[in-house]
Amino acid sequence: MKESQKKAITGIKILLNHKNEHTLMSNNKLKIFVTSKNNSSKRISISTIEELSKDRGNTKSKITIEPKNQRQEILGFGGSFTESSSSIYKELDENKKEEIIESYFGENGNKYSMARTHINSCDFSLGNYAHVEDKNDLELKTFSLERNKISLIPMINDALKKRKNNIRIMASPWSPPAWMKTTGEMNFGGKLKSEYRDTWANYYCKFIESCEKENVPIWGLSIQNEPEAKQTWDSCLYTAEEERDFIKNHLGPSLEKHNLLDRKVIIWDHNRDVMVERARTVLSDPDAAKYVWGTGFHWYCGDHFDNVQNVHDEFPDKQLIFTEGCQEGGPHIGSWDLGERYATSIINDLNRWTVAWIDWNLILNERGGPNHVGNYCSAPIIVDTRSQDLLYQSSYYYIGHFSRFILPGDKIINSENTNNTIDVLSSINNQNTVNTVIQNKNESNVEVSYNRDNVNSVFTIPERSIVTVVDNIS
């Protein structure tokens, strides 16, 4: 790694043996945790009101928190187990493995409770593969997870052990086996052949059952990762009508036959831009909708946050879940924009009824891979495979400002903000603790007046910073 890159991430490494500061809350006092671009000592670090009041900003905002105005219950935050991530993990020494698992899933880390993994290969695999390669095996007798047992399942099992099995894992296919497709290959799109629809539906069930034999419980599944994207990597195309009909005529009945109707079925699993149209086509059909838990979405085609709200408004009895996002085009080591992109998405998505938020790869190497078609991306933790150094990106800490405080079972509450140059999200837990995340992406400080019932406090959010305010009502 270049010396300039090393300097860029100086101070962005977490010390996991530090005392877990957010267990130190005292009643009736605000505790404020800060991560700041221009202060490398501030990484989800506690700061006093006095410290945050030294340099008042010219920009002001009044934030009003409404604890009684409660909305959706949160399932949690998480990241994705891919063959690429697990292949890196497999080669690390035991201390580094433990650090990664603790950093993401531990009580001193980001407390992840959600995850995603792939059925068959994805672009972040070491190559194309399927769990059934025999085109004549319509009964799936040769279904095998042997490829996953090399590194993927062991990594998942380590995380499950850390969380005492309390991780909701969803599974998504990027492509059916090549022999089931119109193109005869897993890459470059193509469609599922009609004669294999029942076999493919049973394949999901076989995956769930096989994973459970390896002590990997599958909580939910999506029909298809990015069903409108013809990619150079593993991909398969479905129109909205095809997805609807596959659910109601094939997948739903197969889940019922295998006693798996308690697994959550997630539609779309693609960008926000046309999620309303997709949800409308599928969920307006009661024979398909009865099998569907909710709509999943990604961030790769613009923000379109209003579409998340629109899906909720049209189908309030169905859930919303963010299922993938990352910064494309390499590892972006040391970039502060990474964290801000994550926080902007999380705040806007959760303020629009999203119940869970899942990041893409947990770890990648110094190139942003491995990726079998060179589609390199960033991850919150980059592993320098030459030295085994773990490089903690701004995205790791920014996600932590949410995931360490807004825990499963907490509810999003309404917050009003008079200045749209900052972003605000508030939640409340069953101990009557209000957690409010405030992001300042500006190049100058912002003075905030925090108001909750009879509590008022004025403090400054430093430039290019994010804070979590912990406010114990009781």
Q: Look up the pTM and report it.
A: 0.94
Residues 63/471, Cβ–Cβ less than 8 Å:
no
Closest CA to 362 of 376, 373, 347, 378: 378
Catalytic residue among 324, 340, 366, 447: 324
366 is catalytic: no
Find the DSSP H helices in 106-181.
Answer: 146-150, 152-162
For residues 49 and 31, give the distance between their C-alpha atoms in angstroms, rounded to a whole number: 8
- Write down the pLDDT at residue 230: 97
Pairing of strands 114-119, 45-47: unpaired
Q: Which of 99, 226, 242, 340 is catalytic?
A: 226
**pLDDT number for residue 104:** 98
User: Which pLDDT value is given to residue 9?
Assistant: 44
Asked if 226 is an active-site residue, the reply is yes
The rounded average pLDDT for each run of 10 residues, N- to C-terminus, in the chain (474 residues) is 47 38 46 96 94 86 98 98 98 98 98 98 98 98 98 98 98 98 98 98 98 98 98 98 98 98 98 98 98 98 97 98 98 98 98 98 98 98 97 98 98 97 97 98 96 95 97 90
How many C-beta neighbours within 10 Å does residue 125 have? 24
Q: What is the pLDDT of residue 147?
A: 98
pLDDT of residue 54: 83
Cβ density class 372-392: b for 16+ within 10 Å, e for less: bbebbbbbbbbbbeeeeebbb
**pLDDT value for 1:** 52
